[in-house]
Homo-oligomer: A and B are copies of this chain.
């Protein structure tokens, strides 16, 4: 690289920096510019210190323009047909004049190296539409990081004028609990089958659902799907009522035939209406804010402790002692805590 090339490079970089200030990004978002939205989300995924400062400013400046969407979580095992479902639902929403953002969270993407939405071709039609924004899982080593980036992405999408945010996740890990705590409505997609419908779904997830839909209810599968739906309806009926007064219903749908997809949207709108009238819509969002605030604080405090060299060393040793029955869980914990305090000169007491 000679001097001229070097100068060019510096100037380009300066230009990029200039564009990357939070004011101009906000302007772009408010003009519903999806490429600015894309850049903004990339920015908040960046680990560079300077990028972090800009993205922090950007998020803050977006706050007055956010919150006006309906946030919908969609979960189900791989193969349940989430992409086809979202494509079918998306078309209905577009016809109603909605602007749709799809954020996908795949907890396995770090391991498999690919995201569930890695190739957009899975939502071929939708991804080419004007008022649609599709973004795969923000990468992150831990669920807390992914949660933060997804929550911030929601705010950016809202500032960019998207009024329906679909958050897609695979219902097999811990991600669905995380998604549940950042959406207004949680939809569980299920496959019909001989009594083993829930095999791949994590325990507890059914109780989080605001509605269950059995997918692929077409052709020979209709009877089986309806039977499964009735079974789930009975099971849902056994759970205690939601404090918000909403009664989750189970039904069937077919993405390829486009059947009952409108019903899903009708249910979601009815839920929105129901909870906005009784005040739970806002209350839930405030509870979620409070939850993530405390969750993040706890994460920060605990990771400081559990990354302490002395603590790491002592934990390994003492867990052996517990397993051997030489000490109890409580005495072991107390011992490590005291050693940690002593090592830090009791500065935090």
Contact = CB atoms under 8 A, between A and B. Distances in A.
- So how many copies of this chain end up in the complex? 2
A199 B344 contact: no
Interface in A291-324: 291-298, 300-302, 304-305, 308, 318-319, 322-323
Given A234-B235, A238-B206, A347-B348, A63 B322 contact: no
A201 interface: yes
A290 interface: yes
Contacts of A203: 207, 239-240
A63 B326 contact: yes
Contact of A323 (B232, B289, B331): B289
Which range holds the interface residue count of chain A? 35 or more
In this complex, the member of A59, A237, A297, A322 whose beta carbon has the largest number of chain B beta carbons within 10 angstroms is A297
B297 A337 contact: yes
A39 interface: no
A295 B334 CA distance: 11
A344 B334 contact: no
27 contacts: A56-B331, A59-B331, A63-B325, A63-B327, A66-B325, A148-B330, A151-B330, A195-B237, A199-B241, A204-B207, A206-B238, A234-B235, A286-B323, A289-B323, A290-B319, A290-B322, A291-B329, A292-B329, A292-B330, A293-B319, A296-B333, A297-B336, A298-B302, A300-B333, A304-B348, A344-B348, A345-B347
